[in-house]
């Protein structure tokens, strides 16, 4: 057995230190070691996007990264985006526009959408569909996911426009 | 999914990478973004006792657009290529192809070096680099050498890079004329059923130069010199298109798999190449 590594991560602003085998997949580190169970394991083969988290400013499928690669990284999961008492505008919009049914893909969808809106605050429908192509939903048919992201973009741009 | 155990190494410079490769030989593999290697390790189709992660090696993530050529470091990602304005001006086919690779999350991680060095016939960059007549820069114990993309690929996962060498970058001569990267795939994130990279130079109403390479239609990318030659000197009319497609079909050797039988792949290859030539010609 390979020796364990000393790993340091920042997850949702909190520093975490532990010993782990380098082969541990980051999604298991987050879910089972650190109890951030928001990001889900869907396909576990980097297709479905349910495990999407933000790592050093990039949307990444956490099932396709070893914990060793993430050593030193700054990670944001859905828990760092918003919670029951402080919903992110994307979470509110998904709720109001029926952007989910079973909800399994939703943490990955919202984490990815948050990054998309950060890079492109005013996306067209086509840009949303292209930018969300790495996240699969088997319930909604995507229509209401697109609507939710559009609604969140409007909501998030409103204060900026008011300030201008 | 739990891959076999390995020792993890994160060297900070190329001499560090080379000494690990020299020390561990066949037991070591270099990893860039990991989005080809990690899936193979999870399936235990690849076992890598010593994994050498390149993320902290400096100087491999640069894009340099120079007078007559472009240098792209091995760790440049597809997302970096898509976002680089000067590169999109100089070699627009790179952005067009990168947008057709996998999905946004994978493009943040997937690198040029990994894509070309891996030797997977499904990867898009190898055919693209053959079309562009790129050269790959590899460094080993005896120094650096440049290997043309058109001679780099020997068989599936077998390339001209030696086990003790590491690919550090790609040099692309600045292309002239029109370009097109056309790809048929079953779904987002799938490899191509067939893909074609085309660069065409037009002189008046005549094709002066044409470079054509095909992806995932043999156990290596296929640079079809005869398909390009079938266009040169013509006005790229129906007869020339048919001749180029016939020449390309003689060069590829697709196999029967879950993307379809051989006859279907030949058919799709023809359709894709026709579209790519037509689009490149319109832009030339």
Q: What is the mean pLDDT of each run of 10 residues along chain B (284 residues)?
A: 95 98 96 96 96 97 97 98 98 98 98 97 97 98 97 98 97 98 95 98 97 98 98 98 98 97 98 98 98
- Other C-beta atoms closer than 10 Å to the C-beta of B229 total 15
pLDDT, mean of residues A79-85: 96
3 state DSSP class of A112:
helix
3 state DSSP class of A161:
helix
Which chain B residues touch A134 with a CB distance below 8 Å?
102-106, 188-189
pLDDT for A28 equals: 98
Which chain B residues touch A45 with a CB distance below 8 Å?
39, 42
The CA distance from B200 to the nearest CA of chain A, in Å, is 29
pLDDT for A163 equals: 78
pLDDT for B1 equals: 86
Q: Which residues of A touch chain B, with CB atoms under 8 Å apart?
A: 1-3, 5, 21-23, 25, 44-47, 49, 52, 58-61, 64-66, 68-69, 71, 112, 116, 130-134
The CA distance from A156 to the nearest CA of chain B, in Å, is 22
Q: State the Cα torsion B95-B99-B104-B106 to the nearest 10°.
A: -80
State pLDDT tens for residues B94-131: 999 999 999 999 999 999 999 999 999 999 999 999 99
Helix (H) or strand (E) run with residue B4 in it: none
pLDDT for A1 equals: 55
pLDDT for B108 equals: 98
pLDDT for A3 equals: 86
State pLDDT tens for residues B149-170: 999 999 999 999 999 999 999 9
Look at B105 and A52 and tell me if their CB atoms are within 8 Å: yes
**Phi, psi angle pair for B177, to nearest 5°:** 80, -155
Is the per-residue pLDDT at A149 higher than 60? yes
Identity of the residue in B3, B109, B188 whose CB atom sits nearest the CB atom of A23: B3
pLDDT for A2 equals: 67
pLDDT for B218 equals: 98
The CA distance from B269 to the nearest CA of chain A, in Å, is 25
Which chain A residues touch B109 with a CB distance below 8 Å?
58, 60, 64-65
The β-bridge relationship of strands A14-20 and A5-11 is antiparallel
pLDDT, mean of residues A134-162: 95
**What is chain A's mean pLDDT, rounded?**
96
ipTM (interface predicted TM)? 0.95
Is the per-residue pLDDT at A115 higher than 80? yes
3 state DSSP class of B148:
strand
Q: Which residues pair with residue A11 across a beta bridge?
A: A14, A75
pLDDT for A148 equals: 98
3 state DSSP class of B283:
helix
**Phi, psi angle pair for A89, to nearest 5°:** -50, -30
Q: With an 8 Å Cβ cutoff, is B104 touching chain A? A: yes
């Amino acid at each position: 057995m390979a020796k364990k590594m000393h790993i340091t991560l920042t997850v949702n602003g909190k520093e975490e230190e532990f010993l782990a085998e380098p082969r541990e997949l980051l999604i298991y580190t987050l879910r089972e070691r650190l109890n951030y169970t928001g990001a889900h394991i869907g396909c576990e083969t980097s297709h479905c996007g349910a495990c999407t988290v933000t790592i050093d400013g990039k949307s990444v499928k956490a099932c396709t990264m070893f914990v060793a690669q993430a050593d030193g990284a700054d990670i944001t999961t859905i828990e760092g985006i918003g919670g029951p008492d402080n919903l992110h505008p994307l979470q509110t919009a998904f709720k109001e526009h029926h952007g989910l049914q079973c909800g399994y893909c939703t943490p990955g969808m919202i984490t990815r959408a948050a990054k998309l809106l950060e890079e492109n605050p005013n996306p067209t429908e086509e840009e949303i569909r292209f930018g969300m192509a790495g996240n699969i939903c088997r319930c909604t048919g995507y229509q209401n996911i697109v609507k939710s992201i559009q609604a969140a973009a409007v909501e998030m741009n409103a204060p900026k426009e008011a300030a201008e | 999914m739990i891959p076999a155990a390995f020792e993890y190494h994160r060297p900070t410079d190329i001499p560090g990478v080379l000494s690990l490769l020299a020390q561990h030989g066949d037991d070591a593999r270099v990893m860039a973004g990991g989005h080809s290697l990690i899936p193979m390790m999870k399936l235990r189709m690849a076992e890598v006792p010593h994994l050498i992660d390149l993320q902290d090696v400096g100087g491999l993530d640069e894009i340099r657009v120079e007078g007559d050529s472009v240098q792209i470091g091995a760790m440049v990602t597809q997302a970096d290529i898509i976002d680089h304005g000067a590169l999109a001006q100089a070699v627009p086919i790179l952005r067009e192809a990168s947008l057709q690779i996998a999905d946004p999350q994978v493009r943040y991680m997937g690198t040029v070096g990994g894509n070309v060095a891996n030797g997977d016939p499904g990867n898009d960059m190898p055919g693209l680099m053959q079309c562009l007549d790129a050269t790959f820069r590899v460094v080993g114990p005896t120094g650096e050498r440049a290997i043309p993309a058109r001679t780099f690929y020997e068989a599936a996962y077998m390339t001209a890079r030696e086990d003790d060498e590491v690919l550090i970058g790609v040099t692309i001569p600045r292309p002239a004329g029109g370009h097109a990267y056309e790809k048929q795939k079953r779904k987002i994130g799938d490899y191509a059923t067939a893909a074609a990279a085309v660069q065409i130079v037009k002189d008046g109403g005549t094709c002066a130069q044409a470079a054509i390479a095909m992806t995932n239609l043999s156990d290596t990318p296929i640079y079809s010199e005869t398909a390009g030659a079938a266009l040169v000197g013509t006005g790229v009319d129906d007869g020339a298109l048919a001749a180029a497609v016939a020449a390309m079909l003689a060069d590829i050797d697709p196999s029967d798999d879950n993307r379809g039988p051989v006859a279907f792949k030949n058919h799709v290859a023809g359709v894709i190449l026709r579209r790519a030539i037509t689009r490149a010609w319109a832009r030339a």
